[in-house]
Structure 1
Amino acid sequence: MTIHRMDNVGIVVDDLDAAVAFFTALGMELEGRMPIEGDWAGRVVGLSDMRSEIAMMRIPDAPGRLELATYHAPRSITPEPAPTPANTLGLHRVMFAVDDIEATLARLRPLGGELVGEVTRFEDSFLLCYLRGPSGIILALAEQLT
């Protein structure tokens, strides 16, 4: 049995517009947005009377997508404590390689992005940081050093 590809990573957010704006500022493009509801959808995710909306974000000229989703019914559950720390079980973070970590942070801070720790150098290879975005999402940013 062979896996052909990883199509996307799904992230549940409370404010879809804010999340789309944040990931657009990161450098992703909105591929499409649509409501998802009905019996078939509820059966897939195991929720009765489910109504949601998704926005598919893509990296221009590269593989990689994020499916941002907000649930209208049933409402999303906020984990405790909110926001959760980086060592919380489950999806840990999504990492993006960027050209300029400081410029990326400058674009994301006005949209609610804030460092979890600090920008740190890993040997002579990378600048790295964790950044909390919309709905408490943790992103990792990596800038390769020459």
Structure 2
Amino acid sequence: MEMIIDGFKDGEFIPRRNTCDGPGLSPEISWRGIPAGAKSLALLMDDPDAPRGLFTHWIIWNIPVSAFRLPAGTARKAELPNGIMQGVNSGGAYGYYPSCPPPGPVHHYRYRLMALDAVPVLNPGAGREQFDRAVSGHVLAEVLVTGLYGR
């Protein structure tokens, strides 16, 4: 399975347009090589370097396996077309929370795309804990891309 994030590759710096120092839009993300048996896709973005511990920037699930991308600037609402759902990020809002570290060392923003053998049963607006429980034991394959950003 492969994930392509527009504007950067694994280990590279995230473009300003996807951060709080720019318009803060979610990047376009595309993928290929979804394994047979996958029933849905999910995406999780987090920052393990956040001052207060793990900060979840984006939770999105129920992505149909027939889809091949998420567009740039995905709407920040609980329910999207085609049954796609978004959770509440650590900032308390739906959808994508842009990279916005405090001044200091560079942070590592992990984008994790998962192919699931089920469609998670979650209400729109679920948080990280509920999401992690719902996908536990259902990940057929996953790919991780880490973007860097510092201020």
TM range, smaller chain: under 0.3
Q: Which has the higher contact order (CA 8 A, sep 6+)?
A: 2
Greater radius of gyration (CA): 1
